[in-house]
Structure 1
């Protein structure tokens, strides 16, 4: 579709909602009621419209407002269509970027590894409890315009709507920096109504391979290394998982192992015993939330050793149709877990639902026995205590592909509502089209398969 055609007609993308209630049945097939959302391209002029407040400035009192957020959205929307990447500092000066990341990082680092999210909030004015809707979002991978549609479609974060993002904000897409900055701004504005979990791509290794590092260096020029280091520091603070309303577990990859700890004999003259951590893969068992709470999440890349294996599992693991718990040989990191492990995890923690992400259409097409990601989600395990679903929120992914045939997948988000929050309502949506023209920040012809075995040696940082 040409720009002139785009400006002559516009259709609104309506999401499709289905409720899955019967654990014994697969989800009903989504009818093709979603339509392409036409993207209205701005004028080719590099002069911003007068309604934009450019360049962005940090509020004197350090407090963000809804107007500031909406202006940020409008500025990123306009600049992505009209300015080359190197002009981003004219929109978001590095000092404003620094201020935002600093405030957001402090918030994130104070949060626990596993967030406990209570949608029932006490109203201090009335004394009554208010019930809030929870929206869960999967991978977005720098697809800014699809994220903007998702936020409008679901309703922006607010006092009665909580958002939980399940990681992978950056890499592959052309606007990972803007995507991450926007979500940080929402976090600073509404810290108790938006939660950002970490994905496996929020790491030094992945961002060096899949484009985010080069994107930041390109957009901030001589300040690029500084900005990239700030992003890595912020990644370290991202929590690993959440429990919603006591019954829904969310994490980017999924389940994790227990790390046996064996105290050795106390040498004479020593007050403390030496602790020996035994990560023997021959005796793998599921970990506890107590173990998850003590994992050192600031480790961005391998080597993961001892209790630090847990973050690797949470971020990189995948479900399997084979019973049991085993090393994930396909990725080279994390675990595979079967339906029996899903049942054990749900039952032992009195949960009803696991929501994970991590697998897009490129990964799923090679996974025998699993549904694809054409609708942006799949229900992978249905067991006595509940179910496991995979949620992916980047439609028409990846943005850059080396083949003529595209996956053309839809993205999806999940809405959880009272009274029990355990029944997912799926909203699928198509990609915003056409995307503004952009160049990839990585060699996507050589890095095609996101599910290929990782080069672990290159992941080890000094």
Structure 2
């Protein structure tokens, strides 16, 4: 990439902080760690790459590229806050380091700060006018910014009308050539589900008439649901909690093979992030919605941070729905996602949510139950935190590396559990090598159910079993199973490529 263009400003020079007494030996050590980080990155081991780049920075904090590389690894981990911070540090060290502007623009875009991202891409274009990739990304960002501005203006001037007021599934004709599963009188039956699963496994598409009918029915069901659903598990009954599945349909089917098909005797809770990244998100979503319609009191779904428009527009769900159906169908899904519950309380002793706990120390279960959820998540507050927060081992709170919500320590968890008289929390949201992790003296459990995440990470998946009488979690781990030759992120948007994908 050419590094030419306008002169560096005095302000930029003044904000650059350089340590001058780095020995040649330390510089060599730093380069070795940087090279090791690059090797980890190429293998898709982004967390390990972050560690190696961090060691490089410890030995020589003067090199902008070390921060730029770590920013790139943070982007791949969706740690957008840390990616933004590192990119800014790289720019301060070397205002001519154009990759720093690329990385910062990517982080800002992921955080929805399109105007600031546009300014960074504009800087790259000015300083490297021959860089065609920079021009392409600047133009794409400009289009996205203009689109969002237009949508904001429309929504500000008009009361938003539900798309469900303008759709009627009965007007959608089912062609004679269609040979797939059919709803009878708009109802999901066990026979329908038994046909649907192998039909999806064969990479066939459910007719849009039936997808629309199911979405209308699931909306009718969810609109009556509280933001926190209370679930009673009988003493002798087994209950299963699953974490993120991220469009990995064949691994979802494997969960059912290992743990039994959903039924009134075999209830499940799937804890958000059903879509994005994996390229079979429609299949996952319609299978889960089907079981929710079939067993409304024994099959539960919680919203994750990826059941949101910003994430869906980047990481593939929007593109997949558009490819398999239409833009209008995506809008229908978006309205349904807005109504998904944010948490589940099991036997009044275990709280399950996608992300984590809160920045305020006095949040009660009633507060959680009363969160206004029928919207896109705001930048801050209870809804944002329950979808985005992560645990940390140090005490207290600190802003999340993701750039949204917080990281909360064992004292925060202990206080929340004591205040609300619960035993522990279950959350998802983070890939774990073994598919699960127990933190905070057993009071905070993470479960992640997408093995070999994005076809690259190599992690196991896991789910949790317990009974109503004994709420002690029992972990079942499993490896990924083969899937058709459609790679993860196949439907990701041009915005993802702008994030460095």
- Short-chain TM bin: 0.5 to 0.7
Q: 1:237 aligns to what SS in structure 2?
A: coil
Show CA shifts across 1:386-430 (max 9, x none). Answer: 52111100000013xxxxxx3211100000114232x11000000
Aligned partner of 1:109 in structure 2 is 223
1:390 aligns with 2:446: yes
Given the alignment, which residue of 475, 481, 484 partners 1:432? 481
Q: Which has the higher helix share?
A: 2
CA contact (8 A) 1:286 1:341 kept: no
Q: 1:153 aligns to what SS in structure 2?
A: helix
Show CA shifts across 1:309-347 (max 9, x none). Answer: 21100000011112113332x112112110011111112
CA contact (8 A) 1:374 1:410 kept: yes
1:146 aligns with 2:251: yes
- Give 1:72 shift: 0.6
- Give 1:109 shift: 1.8
Aligned partner of 1:315 in structure 2 is 387
- Give 1:286 shift: 4.2
Show CA shifts across 1:56-97 (max 9, x none). Answer: 32212x332211101010110112xxx6xxxx3xxx121111
Given the alignment, which residue of 285, 288, 300 partners 1:183? 288
Q: 2:300 aligns to what SS in structure 1?
A: strand
- Residues 184-203 of structure 1 mapped to structure 2, 5 A cutoff: 184-203=289-308
Distance across 2 between alignment mates of 1:199 and 1:235: 9
Unaligned runs of 5+ in 2: 1-177
1:334 aligns with 2:393: no
- Change in Cα spacing, 1:229 to 1:445, as seen in structure 2 (3 Å) is closer
- Give 1:199 shift: 0.1
CA contact (8 A) 1:357 1:392 kept: yes
1:74 aligns with 2:146: no
Aligned partner of 1:13 in structure 2 is none
- Give 1:433 shift: 1.9
Distance across 2 between alignment mates of 1:71 and 1:436: 23
Distance across 1 between alignment mates of 2:299 and 2:420: 24
Q: 1:110 aligns to what SS in structure 2?
A: coil
- Change in Cα spacing, 1:323 to 1:104, as seen in structure 2 (3 Å) is same
Q: 1:341 aligns to what SS in structure 2?
A: helix
CA contact (8 A) 2:368 2:382 kept: yes
CA contact (8 A) 1:375 1:428 kept: yes
- Change in Cα spacing, 1:108 to 1:186, as seen in structure 2 (3 Å) is same
Aligned partner of 1:56 in structure 2 is 181
Show CA shifts across 1:163-197 (max 9, x none). Answer: 01100000000011110111000000000010000
Show CA shifts across 1:284-313 (max 9, x none). Answer: 424111222222111214355xxxx21100
- Residues 158-173 of structure 1 mapped to structure 2, 5 A cutoff: 158-173=263-278
Q: 2:440 aligns to what SS in structure 1?
A: strand
- Residues 261-340 of structure 1 mapped to structure 2, 5 A cutoff: 284-304=360-380, 309-328=381-400, 330-340=401-411
Q: 1:243 aligns to what SS in structure 2?
A: strand
CA contact (8 A) 2:240 2:268 kept: yes
- Change in Cα spacing, 1:434 to 1:156, as seen in structure 2 (3 Å) is closer
Distance across 2 between alignment mates of 1:246 and 1:133: 16
Aligned partner of 2:463 in structure 1 is 413
CA contact (8 A) 1:137 1:392 kept: yes
Q: 1:188 aligns to what SS in structure 2?
A: helix
- Change in Cα spacing, 1:438 to 1:338, as seen in structure 2 (3 Å) is closer
Unaligned runs of 5+ in 1: 1-52, 121-129, 258-283, 361-372, 400-405, 450-462
Distance across 2 between alignment mates of 1:285 and 1:344: 7
Distance across 1 between alignment mates of 2:244 and 2:500: 17
* Superposed structure 1 runs of 4+ greater than 4 Å apart: 443-449
Aligned partner of 1:379 in structure 2 is 438
TM, length-normalised to structure 2: 0.62
Bigger CA radius of gyration:
2
- Give 1:448 shift: 6.4
Show CA shifts across 1:230-258 (max 9, x none). Answer: 1001101100001111211100001124x
Q: Which has the higher strand share?
A: 1
